[in-house]
Structure 1
Amino acid sequence: MAKDDLVQLDGKVVDALAGGLYKVELETNKVVVNAKLCGKMRRFNIRIVVGDRVSVGVSPYDPTHGLIMYRHK
């Protein structure tokens, strides 16, 4: 599935897990999803800490997993 097909949702990082995974609580419906960093964020060493506001791309087929696309300032 391409990145363009993902649903973009905003959320807040609530927990940092091992292996580069994060728990993100979505703002729209307060659901917690597991998310990992997208390739560009890994490439340019953009760090994510607990409490950051992020944009998450969520697949419409499996809404429990996501891809962190952007860290808001």
Structure 2
Amino acid sequence: MAKEELLTLEGFIDEVLPDGRFGVTLDNGHRIIAYTAGKMRKFRIRSVAGDRVHVEMTPYDLTKGRITFRERTPGAGPGPARRAGIRR
């Protein structure tokens, strides 16, 4: 299957499931199970319940998807400050 055939939909995370999976309610009212994309895992982008996300789905199975983008929540800062590592 080519990547051009993927459906991209928006929704919000309503449930955090084990093994890096999430229950996502789409804007059209359907509920699916989605997992975090590899780039999000690589850069440690964390998702929690209530986050607005973009989900890619294949037209062959409309019950599963892949979270590819998490929108920033308004009012949230840049995140916790990093601790400087001690070099010896």
Task: Tell me the TM-score normalized by structure 2.
Answer: 0.78
- The structure-2 alpha-carbon separation of the partners of 1:2 and 1:40, relative to structure 1 and needing over 3 Å to count, comes to farther
C-alpha root-mean-square deviation of aligned residues, in Å? Answer: 1.0
- Divergent runs of 4+, >3 A: 1-4
CA positional deviation for 1:6 = 1.3
Paired residues in the alignment total: 72
- The structure-2 alpha-carbon separation of the partners of 1:40 and 1:19, relative to structure 1 and needing over 3 Å to count, comes to same
Equivalent positions of 1:1-73 (< 5 A) are 1-27=1-27, 29-73=28-72
The alignment-based identity, stated in percent, is: 44
Task: Tell me the TM-score normalized by structure 1.
Answer: 0.93
Bigger relative contact order, structure 1 or 2 (CA pairs below 8 A, ≥6 apart) = 1
Larger Rg: 2
SS at match of 2:61: coil
Q: How far apart, in 1, do the equivalents of 2:63 and 2:35 lie?
A: 12
Greater share of residues in helix: 1
Aligned partner letter, 1:46:
I
Q: Gaps spanning 5+ residues in structure 2: where? A: 73-88
CA positional deviation for 1:46 = 0.2
